[in-house]
């Protein structure tokens, strides 16, 4: 017998509606944050999220960012990526024709459906892509409850 979660006080539809509202609120916040630094495209860095039973893998497109300047903060079920990307060093007297690449500070937060095991987090940076493995905390993993015979 596997016990995954307790029954919820809300009905299924209400729960879904609540999730939708939360996503909408987070989207608006991301927009507001992006507007603080309008050098970047909205939602910089672009992020992909993969999930399995035991972990979430997050990848973020952060080309040309010094890995030492990337900060990954974890609080319960929320992961925040923030950092700084240096602007391009343009020699004096150069004419700038295009400037599309953003620079300066960035920050994005993601809320996962479980708490994160901070000690098991692993982050790598390669070819301008940051990959963070976020394992599920032991207390949020499904547990098998043995049924004892009387």
Partner 1 sequence: MNTAQDPQKHEAQLPQKVERQRPRPYAAPRVDVYETKDAYQVVADVPGVSERSLEITIEKDTLTIEAPVEPTRREHRLRLAESVGGGFLRSFALPDGIDRERISATVRNGVLRLTLPKSEAMRPRKIVVQPGA
Q: For binding to partner 1 (CB under 8 A), which residues are involved? A: 41, 43, 46-52, 55, 57, 59, 61-65, 88, 90-91, 93-102, 125, 127-129
What's the token pair of residue 30? 């991301």
What's the token pair of residue 119? 């000690």
Residue with Cβ nearer partner 1 (4 or 7):
4
Provide, rounded to whole angstroms, the least separation between the CB of residue 81 and partner 1: 13
Tell me if 77 sits within 8 A of 134, measured CB to CB.
no
What's the token pair of residue 37? 């630094």
Residue with Cβ nearer partner 1 (48 or 78):
48
Provide, rounded to whole angstroms, the least separation between the CB of residue 50 and partner 1: 4
- Collapsing DSSP states into helix, strand and coil, what is residue 121? coil
Provide, rounded to whole angstroms, the least separation between the CB of residue 95 and partner 1: 4
Nearest to 82 by CA among 47, 55, 56: 47
């Amino acid at each position: 017998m596997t016990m995954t979660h307790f029954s919820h006080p809300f009905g299924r539809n209400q729960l879904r509606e609540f999730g939708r509202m939360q996503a909408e609120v987070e989207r608006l916040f991301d927009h507001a944050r992006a507007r603080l630094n309008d050098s970047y495209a909205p939602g910089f860095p672009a992020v992909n999220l993969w999930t399995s039973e035991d972990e979430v893998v997050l990848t973020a497109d952060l080309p040309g960012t010094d890995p030492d300047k990337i900060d990954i903060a974890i609080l319960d079920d929320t992961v925040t990526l923030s950092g700084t990307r240096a602007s391009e060093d343009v020699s004096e007297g150069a004419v700038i024709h295009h400037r599309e690449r953003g620079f300066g500070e960035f920050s994005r937060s993601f809320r996962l459906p479980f708490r994160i095991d901070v000690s098991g987090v692993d982050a790598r940076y390669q070819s301008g892509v940051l990959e963070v493995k976020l394992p599920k905390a032991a207390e949020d993993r499904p547990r098998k409850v043995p049924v004892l015979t009387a």
